Amino acid sequence: GAVVSQHPSRVICKSGTSVKIECRSLDFQATTMFWYRQFPKQSLMLMATSNEGSKATYEQGVEKDKFLINHASLTLSTLTVTSAHPEDSSFYICSSQKEGTDTQYFGPGTRLTVL
Amino acid sequence: DAKTTQPPSMDCAEGRAANLPCNHSTISGNEYVYWYRQIHSQGPQYIIHGLKNNETNEMASLIITEDRKSSTLILPHATLRDTAVYYCIVRADARGSQGNLIFGKGTKLSVKP
């Protein structure tokens, strides 16, 4: 068990549009989900932490009005990149912390390209 | 900042054991050692974690020194599919929103035929 899915796996959009990425924990419940992004040849950087039913906590330098996070249930979190620009092009990865444990399981990632 | 130090790259022959070292000299008493790996263009995959005892699962073994200042991840019989970047991360026990994973640069392991 401990499978996390992301949708879509790849998205290309025009500058100025908004993109929604879904993260689901398929076979377990996750009270806490995390969103990371990874630029080419760099390591993962944490963007925000979200707990089910409450507002997300954003890392320093991450604009909360630009990266909207909704964690409406114990198995689903969404990240919306609003008014995307080319500099937002990146690999976005979510992780879910299995309820009752301290282990995070990662999704396969979403490659966002903004033209 | 990451609290661990890993060699940037290592090579291993297919079928041989891969031993990946990690230094974490400032680890605190309540911090675990976690290992993840990331195959190109995929999300990180959990491998193993431990506090002070050695651990083994179906993927790997984790050897932690007695002073807990360093550890070694062992892949007993490396295959070409084990080629990936391996991350060693220390993190406090966190059953809530604390204890985020901080990724360093990791070790790029190349398994060669």
Tens of pLDDT along B69-95? 999 999 999 999 999 999 999 987 655
Residue B2 has pLDDT above 70, yes or no: no
Residue A47 has pLDDT above 90, yes or no: yes
Cβ–Cβ below 8 Å for A46 and B101: yes
CB pairs under 8 A between A and B: 61
B105 in contact with chain A, both atoms CB, cutoff 8 A: yes
A100: closest chain B residue by CA = B95
Residue B96 has pLDDT above 50, yes or no: no
Cβ–Cβ below 8 Å for B43 and A103: no
DSSP state of A108: -
Instruction: Give the distance from residue A50's alpha carbon to the nearest chain B alpha carbon, in angstroms.
Output: 8
DSSP state of A59: P
> What is d(CA A28, CA A53) in angstroms, rounded to the nearest whole number?
17
pLDDT at B8: 97
> What is d(CA A92, CA A71) in angstroms, rounded to the nearest whole number?
16
> CA distances (Å), A82 to each of A2, A3, A47, A54, A69, in order?
30, 27, 15, 20, 11
pLDDT tens digits along B21-34 = 999 999 988 889 99
Q: Write out residues 24-63 of B within 8 Å (CB-CB) of A.
A: 32, 34, 36, 38, 41-46, 49
Which of A104, A111, A112, A113 would best serve as a mutation to test chain B binding (most B beta carbons within 10 A)? A104
Cβ–Cβ below 8 Å for B96 and A51: yes
Cβ–Cβ below 8 Å for A103 and B49: yes
The amino acid that residue B22 corresponds to is C
Q: Which pLDDT band, with edges at 50, 70 and 90, does B97 fall under?
A: very low
pLDDT tens digits along A98-112 = 877 778 899 999 999
A31 in contact with chain B, both atoms CB, cutoff 8 A: yes
Measured in whole angstroms, how far is the alpha carbon of residue B32 from the centre of its chain? 11
